[in-house]
Amino acid sequence: MCHVIVTCRSMLWTLLSIVVAFAELIAFMSADWLIGKAKPPNSEDMDNRTGGSQEPYHPTLGIYGRCTRISHMQLSRRDTLCGPYAENFSEIASGFWQATAIFLAVGIMILCAVAFVSVFTMCVQSIMKKSIFNVCGLLQGIAG
């Protein structure tokens, strides 16, 4: 009975470790860190097909990515383009954002390594008389 509980807890921990690593990676890649004020639609933003206006546009900025509205030459409606605004590290918005990028990148690497190792804890639970769970938990705390 006790072995079944330990196995279930390690499977849950493994699953949550993988989910957290992916969530951190998605947060890092997201351009929705800062959301600007809504820009009201003007006469050019009217949707000719439905006759109504589109939703107000909110420009966004992430650590190294942003979303901006662009207009197409052939179409009267506008679209949003998301992508990196920084081609190298020194072009990131500010020193604080550069520090955030460094800390998040290191944290994500640690979380991904722990998620990878956590898959093997189902078979091997200690190395050199050290519990892998304790070491990985310590690494997750540092990454957090």
Instruction: Say what the pLDDT of residue 87 is.
Output: 81
Per the structure, the complete domain to which residue 29 belongs is given by 1-38+55-143
Instruction: Say what the pLDDT of residue 109 is.
Output: 92
In a domain, 128, yes or no: yes
> Is the confidence at residue 76, as pLDDT, over 50?
no
In a domain, 3, yes or no: yes
In a domain, 84, yes or no: yes
Instruction: Say what the pLDDT of residue 4 is.
Output: 66
In a domain, 47, yes or no: no
In a domain, 25, yes or no: yes
User: pTM value?
Assistant: 0.67
In a domain, 96, yes or no: yes
Instruction: Say what the pLDDT of residue 103 is.
Output: 92
Instruction: Say what the pLDDT of residue 78 is.
Output: 55
pLDDT: is 139 or 133 the higher one?
Answer: 139
Whole-angstrom distance, CA of residue 29 vs CA of residue 104: 11
Lowest mean pLDDT, pick from 23-32, 47-56, 125-134: 47-56
Query: What token pair was written down for 90?
Result: 């020194």
pLDDT band at 102 (very low <50, low <70, confident <90, very high): very high
Express each pLDDT in 119-132 by its tens digit.
Answer: 877 777 777 777 77
In a domain, 15, yes or no: yes
pLDDT band at 74 (very low <50, low <70, confident <90, very high): very low
> Is the confidence at residue 54, as pLDDT, over 70?
no
b/e code 83-122 from CB counts within 10 Å (16+ = b): eebbeeeeebbeeebbebbeebeebbebbbebbebbeebe
Is 22:73 a contact under the CB 8 Å cutoff?
Answer: no
Q: How many structural domains comprise the chain? A: 1
Instruction: Say what the pLDDT of residue 65 is.
Output: 80
pLDDT: is 84 or 73 the higher one?
Answer: 84
In a domain, 45, yes or no: no
